[in-house]
Structure 1
């Protein structure tokens, strides 16, 4: 399993873990990833040593309780051991193929926009449990939420904040501290289980790496003097912002995946590290800090920025011994050949260490006309030797004209299943009317790295 972390020079993770251990956490077999404890103790009111913001009770109006997203999610969940693959006999209309999670009903916290799926499959002796962390928005206010499933398809969600350790719903909001880097928007990038075998922590805890946006505009895209070749916006929203906002990587930790405490990094804003110097490829912003645990003392963060010199989105890498202090190694991947589906760059990379060794990365590709699709690359060492699969062909193209994701797909999240060639691909989709959702595609096997949108159970 991947692993990551990020911390501050004087703040020791042990102190944060000691406070978080006020939640009850049963010791479990090391063979399996522990589920969150269902009966947490009251949270410690404050963290000490350095500033740490706690989101135990998200500040949103009133709690409207949990709700089922649809008739599918409110019905009994299907057997999680059922083999899933696209079914040619399914009667699901093609316009909704692949859609497994949609915006919540008004006035829930995620009724306007959703995306940035981070999907994890956790196994225990007698069951499996799927967690989906994602960003949601209402009235242009972004938050991070959690949904839960037993099969990764039918999800239970919450319309308000998750107040107990068994709730779903909103779990983290933007910071209210004026000096913080994440006052405008927050987007989850990766969630890892970190234990003493990976970092110096007394017990297993969830580590959330996320992108935090401030309201500082670093590039105004409507400026005619900028020679941008295609329409872009940052952060990605269903309502265009026409600007690049400053974004930096952040870290929060939790004992139950719901109640998060921000860990202040070395940057004065609380972020883990800063953008590059003027002229560097990552001088504008840093986004989507996805971290992979390689070996003990070797953690790798993949993130993207916009290289003004090359005029394209680019993915780079940083390394850390403890997952807290990071050293940048530079960019590892940029735009493709002229006329390719990723000519204008690559972003939102999701890297997975394969069972047989080597790495695979699904990424959001940007074409010269701004169109978004999903591509795939692989590398033997996860560093700079990345090679496009299928000679640079699109892994997941846009849907048909009437599809729910016919405008763009992106923010991929790969989940390995039980078989050697069995994968799921979760992603954010958007239709031409601006509605967003989270979709799923499944691999066809045979070592071909081919995916099809999920179209129902094949029994």
Structure 2
């Protein structure tokens, strides 16, 4: 293979697993990127080491931190917990987050970092003939002054902020990947990733709060697209933000052939309309060509948008290769973090970053 061909397979790749013995030496995923007023960039992300519990067939495990001067070249920050992590499972086996955790949203407000995260316990959930440990996810919250040392805020459901829905509800099996936004000073909204166990499709649920700690569910606000669409099996991870007088949602669309990133918009943050993208599958950012050997040839997801001064955007995302497809083993594939750049202010057209990587 020529060097040009090898480079093409790596286009977009920004950040990979850590050095041997580090908490993230097997995989990295779920970037939450903040650009701080002092010019620093910080990225919280989750991952796991090669010895992490293999019965938990998810890319989650622990949470770490990286910093950058430009948002392109990142250095890992060694945290105070296991193998350099900054956040990990709770030692109490009765808690909702006793086996694994993953960060899904970080914001900085009034001198505090707020981390909204997902966690799983020791229970198993059956999918067909498979029993999967740790899949029954619920959301939690932690706060920090420095972004490295975190204190959990205890919720009412074994520490979690929300509990599973009733049997046959759209969120009866899992409530994961929470993201919280302030719609008004007195209204917090928590968007989450749900799994409908009856239809085995994914959707976006919504809960609301007056104080950010006590939540009431509103129900599902966005479900699967048309059966043959890039989001025909539903919607996974997402980011919701306010921009130019409307709410935007960039989301991971799930299909049998792979995952791509879509866009929806809303006037009120509750009722959403899909916005067609420029990719062949109708998404705004598609996984690389199947069979190409590219590092993100099966899935792109966990989108995180950062606006730039010139009106353009950066899209940090997770890419997944095609290793192990068809065997029901998510851990056989490799998760890494990538970057795409918008064409001007257009959120429907993106190009993978192709700069020097570390």
Q: Match for 2:319 among 382, 404, 429?
A: 429
State the match for 1:133 in structure 2. 44
Q: Deviations over 1:171-200 (max 9, x none)?
A: 0111110111111210101111233xxxxx
CA distance 1:263–1:321, shift in 2 (3 Å): same
State the match for 1:71 in structure 2. none
State the match for 1:416 in structure 2. 307
Q: Normalising to structure 2: TM-score of the pair?
A: 0.87
Question: What are structure 1's unaligned runs of at least 5 residues?
Answer: 1-89, 196-203, 224-240
Q: Normalising to structure 1: TM-score of the pair?
A: 0.68
Instruction: Supply the distance in 2 between the matched residues of 1:428 and 1:294 (Cα, whole angstroms).
Output: 27
CA distance 1:191–1:448, shift in 2 (3 Å): closer
Instruction: Supply the distance in 2 between the matched residues of 1:129 and 1:373 (Cα, whole angstroms).
Output: 29
State the match for 1:105 in structure 2. 19
Q: Select the structure of larger CA radius of gyration.
A: 1
**Total equivalences in the alignment:** 331
**TM superposition shift of 1:92:** 8.6
1:365 pairs with 2:253 = yes
CA distance 1:210–1:443, shift in 2 (3 Å): same
SS of structure 1 residue aligned to 2:40:
strand
State the match for 2:168 in structure 1. 279
Write the mapping of 1:263-302 to structure 2, written as runs, cut at 5 A.
263-267=153-157, 269-302=158-191
Q: Deviations over 1:286-321 (max 9, x none)?
A: 001101112201111110111234431010111111
CA distance 1:212–1:242, shift in 2 (3 Å): closer
1:182 pairs with 2:71 = no
1:148 pairs with 2:67 = yes
More strand by share: 2
SS of structure 2 residue aligned to 1:107:
coil
State the match for 2:343 in structure 1. 444
1:381 pairs with 2:272 = no
Write the mapping of 1:129-278 to structure 2, written as runs, cut at 5 A.
129-138=40-49, 139-140=51-52, 142-158=61-77, 160-162=78-80, 169-195=84-110, 204-222=111-129, 245-267=135-157, 269-278=158-167
- Cα RMSD, aligned residues only: 2.2
CA distance 1:242–1:399, shift in 2 (3 Å): farther
Does structure 2 retain, via aligned residues, the 8 Å contact 1:104–1:110? yes
SS of structure 1 residue aligned to 2:277:
helix
SS of structure 2 residue aligned to 1:93:
helix
Does structure 1 retain, via aligned residues, the 8 Å contact 2:319–2:337? yes
**TM superposition shift of 1:387:** 2.6
Q: Deviations over 1:350-373 (max 9, x none)?
A: 11111x211111111111x25212
Instruction: Supply the distance in 2 between the matched residues of 1:174 and 1:143 (Cα, whole angstroms).
Output: 7
State the match for 1:305 in structure 2. 194
